[in-house]
Amino acid sequence: MKSFLIRPALALALAAGLAACGGGDKAEFTVSGAVYNLAYEGLQLTNNGGDTITIAPPAKAGDQVNFSFPGKLEYGDTYNVQVSKQPAHQSCGLTGNYPVNADTAGRLAAINIPFACSINTQPIGGKVSGLTVAGLQLANGSTGGVVTLDKDATAYTFPLPVAYNQTYGVTVLKNPDGLSCSVSNPAGTMGDVAITNIDVACVPRT
């Protein structure tokens, strides 16, 4: 009789103990964060190499985009969030002074991983012919920098690259003594590849 009562009581106590341990009110952690300066489609983040989310740019340009992975973590689970696919025309990476993208859930009160994106840039330049005298100066507008070419240069690249979707326009700022130089394909709008066809041809001035 006595043992008949004790056994269910024990089982009940055990069940209660288990529930307290792992069941109903256990702590759950959401792997979340924010992406800054996202402007184009295509960004994908992956947690632990498997769980993947696609992040769309904000409705209003410049706003941050908050994200959360659907799978919840328990205390002590590890997470490791990486950019698995870059958006079009941009490069995104961790930002901030001490960004933590991989850790153990529960060590921080909340998981908040900051990413920032920047617009890709590409160099512009071209070939040069007939430059028998030093001193040719080329400019890319007022803010795109100036290059000064040496005698016998056969190619050049501007030190400042141009961001995707920005225009460029290369002009002769100063001709070398005795030469007259002209630029072909001087202007364009930057795409996703380097521009190498802004060719310059110099001929003796008559």
Partner 1 sequence: MKSSYLRAGAALACAAALSACGGSSGELLLGGSYSGVTKAGLVLTNGDQRYEVPASSAGNGSGSFYFPELVGTDDEYDVKVAGRPDNVEDCVVTNGKGRAAFNITTVQVNCTFKKHALKGSIANLKGDGLVLVNGSDRVTVTAGATGFTMAEVPEDAPYGVAILQQPVNQTCTLANGSGTMAKVDVTNLAVTCAP
Residue 83's nearest CA partner among 99, 98, 97 is 99
Q: What is the nearest approach in angstroms of partner 1 to the Cβ of residue 46? A: 35
Q: What is the nearest approach in angstroms of partner 1 to the Cβ of residue 172? A: 6
Q: Which residues pair with 43 in a beta bridge?
A: 55
CA distance 158 to 170: 10
Q: Which residues pair with 129 in a beta bridge?
A: 201
Q: Which stretch binds partner 1 (CB under 8 A): 55-63, 81-89, 93-101, 179-187?
A: 179-187
Nearer to partner 1, 66 or 189 (CB): 189
Nearer to partner 1, 99 or 141 (CB): 141
Contact predicate 99/80, CB 8 Å: no
186, 194, 196, 201: residue in contact with partner 1 (rule CB under 8 A): 186
Non-local (6+) Cβ contacts of 37 within 8 A are 62, 90, 116, 117, 118
Q: Which stretch binds partner 1 (CB under 8 A): 32-40, 55-63, 105-113, 182-190?
A: 182-190
Residue located via tokens 């326009």 = 169
Non-local (6+) Cβ contacts of 182 within 8 A are 172, 200, 201, 202
Q: Which stretch binds partner 1 (CB under 8 A): 29-37, 38-46, 54-62, 167-175?
A: 167-175
Nearer to partner 1, 132 or 184 (CB): 184
Q: Looking at residues 106 to 165 of the shown chain, list those that interact with partner 1 (rule: CB under 8 A).
A: 137, 139-144, 146, 162-163
Contact predicate 74/30, CB 8 Å: no
Count of residues engaged in binding partner 1, rule: CB under 8 A: 23
Q: Looking at residues 73 to 112 of the shown chain, list those that interact with partner 1 (rule: CB under 8 A).
A: none
Enter the tokens of residue 122: 């590409």
Q: What is the nearest approach in angstroms of partner 1 to the Cβ of residue 123? A: 14
Q: What is the nearest approach in angstroms of partner 1 to the Cβ of residue 40? A: 18
| Amino acid, res. 91 | S
Q: Would you tell me which residues interact with partner 1 (CB under 8 A)?
A: 137, 139-144, 146, 162-163, 166-173, 183, 186-189
